[in-house]
């Protein structure tokens, strides 16, 4: 789901950096020092999971884990994902340097949305509350990330329309896998260490 250098037009990637800077500034005010170890662990999980790519035609797919990062870190999720993307870009050339901002928007803002979706579980009393809303959060992280990816590509030029559609289709299995996986992880954590799910 990473966008490489040279793909996006300058206004799009510059706008990505500007938007990412604004979200980071707002998120910094909400991070608590005692949650930094949790942020470090989730950054590592995101870093490793999204490095393992499966090429599919003009794009590639990989686990994103932004929904899981969102439900565990809450407002700190965006910063965690941003740091992971910076490390991937500079250490492994995974993604681009100019596109770090738009990649952070693409994966970080859905993580914040996933956090909100997961917290809706407090308004319902289903039998498998954590699994249901964990699955919705995990799947929505990939879904909205793919939507932002497609929008960034199409905004750059109409010639990317085909690639955008292909990327969206290729990420459907990832959406399902991450939804199920995040649901099971949320259920497990609720049983053994529920305080982890307080979202930072």
Distance, CA of 181 to CA of 83 (rounded, Å) = 23
CA gap 35, 19 in Å, rounded: 24
Residues 6+ apart with CB under 8 A from 80: 39, 42, 43, 46, 69, 73, 111
**Spatial distance between the Cα atoms of 136 and 132, rounded to a whole number of angstroms:** 6
Q: What pLDDT is recorded for position 118?
A: 95
Residue pair 108/73 in contact (Cβ under 8 Å)? The answer is no
Q: At what angle do helices 129-156 and 100-119 cross, to 10 degrees?
A: 150
Asked if 135 and 183 touch (Cβ cutoff 8 Å), the reply is yes
Q: What are the 10-residue block averages of pLDDT along the chain, 200 residues in total?
A: 83 94 93 89 90 70 91 94 94 88 96 95 87 96 92 82 81 92 95 84
Three-state secondary-structure class, residue 143: helix
59 secondary structure, DSSP code: E
C-beta separation of 137 from 121 below 8 A: no
What is the structure's pLDDT at 57?
A: 64
Whole-number pLDDT of residue 56: 67
């Amino acid at each position: 789901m990473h966008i490489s250098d040279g793909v996006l037009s300058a206004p799009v990637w510059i706008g990505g950096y500007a938007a990412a800077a604004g979200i980071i500034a707002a998120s910094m005010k909400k991070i608590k020092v005692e949650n930094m170890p949790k942020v470090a662990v989730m950054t590592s999980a995101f870093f490793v999971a999204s490095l393992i790519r499966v090429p599919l035609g003009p794009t590639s797919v990989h686990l994103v884990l932004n929904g899981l990062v969102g439900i565990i870190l809450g407002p700190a999720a965006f910063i965690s994902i941003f740091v992971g993307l910076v490390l991937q870009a500079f250490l492994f050339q995974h993604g681009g340097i100019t596109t770090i901002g738009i990649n952070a928007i693409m994966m970080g803002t859905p993580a914040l949305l996933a956090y909100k979706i997961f917290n809706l579980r407090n308004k319902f009393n289903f039998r498998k509350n954590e699994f249901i809303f964990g699955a919705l959060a995990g799947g929505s992280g990939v879904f909205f990330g793919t939507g932002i990816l497609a929008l960034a590509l199409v905004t750059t030029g109409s010639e990317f329309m085909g690639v955008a559609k292909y990327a969206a289709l290729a990420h459907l299995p990832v959406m399902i896998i991450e939804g199920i996986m995040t649901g099971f992880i949320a259920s497990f954590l609720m049983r053994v260490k529920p305080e982890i799910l307080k979202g930072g």
